[in-house]
Amino acid sequence: MEEVMNSFNFLTAPDVPTAIQLTNNQLSAFIAGGTNLLDLWKYNLVNPTALIDINQLAALSEFRELENGGFRLGAAVKNAETAYHPIIESRYPLLSRAILAGASAQIRNMASNGGNLLQRTRCYYFYDHQVPCNKRIPGSGCPARDGYNRMHAILGASEACIAVFPSDMCVALAALEARINITGGDGERSLAFSDFHRLPGERPDLDNNLKPGELITSIDLPAKGFPLNYSYLKLRDRHSYAFALVSVATALEMDGNTIKEARIALGGVAHKPWRSLEAEEFLREKTACRENFAAAADIILQGAVGLEYNRFKIKLAKNAIIRNGMMAIDPDSQLPGAQPSL
Amino acid sequence: METDPQNLQPQPVETHLITLKINGQNHSISIRPWVSLLDCLRDHLNLTGTKKGCDHGQCGACTVICGGKRILSCLSLAVMKDGAEITTVEGIATESSLHPLQQAFIDHDAFQCGYCTPGQLCSALGLLSEGRASSREEVKELMSGNLCRCGANVGIIDAIMQVKDGGSYE
């Protein structure tokens, strides 16, 4: 292994433009909660020469009602603060549930909203410097494909990489069609949630479309939060504090028992939260029932590929989509596994 | 502290002078940026009650209360906690008596080896002050970030429930 420096400087900035300016050094990194970054640093997976603290930036630390009826989440706001915010609990309960299904109480008190989007994969080969990994060292190979791939992708994977993106929060943000506000040296831009993360393709080292030196400043939730019919189901090896094997965020707009609009996003199955607009369109004006959710699941899982140890995920995902659809009809009916406290 | 981008690279690593209020007492510490809050407590301040388990945020042994919230000291940089008020296991009891939660841990055999106990205590105090858990199931869920290799979990939850339902915490 090449010799690495594990020392870094610690910098603060009074405002976003100054923070961006400090990134002129390509080896710098922004730090908010640090729960993933410092862990990656301890594993020698990132070696910044400077960390730029963004916790003092007022623009990143606020909640804000938007003129279009939406709600803005500051990028440096903590996950727990977001999940327990009265507006999130009442208008975006799917997001609250998804956040509370992830990590532990301590980590949710530390981890930031922007950082949640930037988590690296939990593929064990990525963390192991003794083996190749195309995400860690592009072109070196992927031992996961023929190795122990129980937690790996069944959708959207490439020859180069079968890693999955581990966030729960982002599965709900995908279903809710949030937007990501970004500032960089070239100014501000906004990305649809589905355009933020990327599939591995030939460049699994790139998890998302954030450019070097760019900073996530906030996440905008649209006005429609699906507060009446929603459910987040997370299936995992341990009842709590484990990453998803499969998770499903379902949000429905209902008229009686008829679905007017459906959103379904999957976690734990791909390099990004997985949605199928075709399946969601299929459910429009359909009765909310097991048969229709099963048909939607078949559309979502078209092209799913199982490997030696993760084949079970295809059937697990289908059943999870059906079960979560039924629970979304009446959130009070949610069974163990769909509520973080049960 | 602000830094001029022009001076960013390459430059010697700075040492920062920070102040931490730990268990009611102010400490001024000269520290390198990469020192975790955990190592700062244990190695710089000799407050070794807080334990290093995995050092990767997976076990909860290093849990402390910072600004009223339970956090993992192993994944926190001390330099980022400048000015913070921190409670460690050393600050829970009074001079004359154990905290009711500590007594409850004894009453319910809530530890064997005791290595996870400081983190369990701080995490449980955080849980109680957060007020998000009403049922036993919710207490279990919200304590899932603290592992106990000895398997004293049932006793730990019993102890927390005793204090929670008795209301004997601040």
The arithmetic mean of pLDDT across residues A261-281, rounded, is: 98
ipTM of predicted complex: 0.95
Q: How far is B43 from chain A (nearest CA, A)?
A: 18
Question: β-pairing, B16-22 with B25-31?
Answer: antiparallel
A-chain residues near B143 (CB < 8 A): 105
CB A142 within 8 A of CB A168: no
Among residues A125, A98, A99, A129, which one has the least CA distance to residue A112? A99
Query: With 70 as the cut, is the pLDDT of residue A170 above it?
Result: yes
Kindly state the percentage of chain B with pLDDT values over 90.
Answer: 85
**Closest chain B residue to A31, measured at CA:** B80
- Report residue A338's pLDDT band, with 50, 70 and 90 as the boundaries: low
Residue range A98-152, pLDDT digits in tens: 999 999 999 999 999 999 999 999 999 999 999 999 999 999 999 999 999 999 9
Q: Is B136 an 8 Å CB contact of chain A?
A: no
- In terms of Cβ atoms closer than 10 Å to its own Cβ (0-12, 13-18, 19+), residue A212 is exposed
**Closest chain B residue to A18, measured at CA:** B5
| Domains, chain A, ordered by start | 9-55 (3.30.43.10), 229-331 (3.30.390.50)
**Closest chain A residue to B60, measured at CA:** A106
Query: With 90 as the cut, is the pLDDT of residue B7 above it?
Result: no
Measured between its terminal Cα atoms, the distance across chain A in Å is 44
Q: A-B interface: how many C-beta pairs under 8 angstroms?
A: 119
Kindly state the percentage of chain A with pLDDT values over 70.
Answer: 96
- Report residue B11's pLDDT band, with 50, 70 and 90 as the boundaries: low
Query: With 70 as the cut, is the pLDDT of residue A337 above it?
Result: no
Residue range B58-99, pLDDT digits in tens: 999 999 999 999 999 999 999 999 999 999 999 999 999 999
User: DSSP string of A191-218?
Assistant: EEHHHHB---TT-TT--BSPPTT-EEEE
CB-based contact B80 A340, cutoff 8 Å: no
pLDDT recorded at residue A25 = 65
CB-based contact A11 B1, cutoff 8 Å: yes
CB-based contact B3 A11, cutoff 8 Å: yes
pLDDT recorded at residue A191 = 98
| Domains, chain B, ordered by start | 5-91 (3.10.20.30), 100-166 (1.10.150.120)
Nearest to A24 among B1, B8, B126 (CB): B8
> What distance in Å separates the CA atoms of residue B167 and residue B159, rounded to the nearest whole number?
12
Instruction: Supply the mean pLDDT for chain B.
Output: 92
Q: How far is A52 from chain B (nearest CA, A)?
A: 10
**Closest chain B residue to A100, measured at CA:** B142
> What distance in Å separates the CA atoms of residue A233 and residue B164, rounded to the nearest whole number?
29
B-chain residues near A18 (CB < 8 A): 2
CB B12 within 8 A of CB B33: no
pLDDT recorded at residue A87 = 98
Q: How far is A11 from chain B (nearest CA, A)?
A: 6
Record the pTM.
0.95
Q: How far is B143 from chain A (nearest CA, A)?
A: 7
Which residues, listed in sequence order, are joined to residue A258 by a DSSP beta bridge? A255, A287
**Closest chain A residue to B142, measured at CA:** A105
Among residues B44, B82, B74, B68, which one has the least CA distance to residue B56? B74
Among residues A235, A262, A53, A95, which one has the least CA distance to residue B82? A53
Q: How far is A338 from chain B (nearest CA, A)?
A: 13
**Closest chain B residue to A39, measured at CA:** B56
A-chain residues near B133 (CB < 8 A): 341
User: DSSP string of A312-340?
Assistant: HHHHHHHHHHHHHHHHHH-GGGPPBTTBT
- Report residue B115's pLDDT band, with 50, 70 and 90 as the boundaries: very high
Backbone angles phi, psi at A65, to 5 degrees: -70, 135
Query: With 70 as the cut, is the pLDDT of residue A341 above it?
Result: no
Nearest to A34 among B1, B75, B137 (CB): B75
CB-based contact B2 A35, cutoff 8 Å: no
Residue at token pair 């992927």: A142
A-chain residues near B56 (CB < 8 A): 39, 42
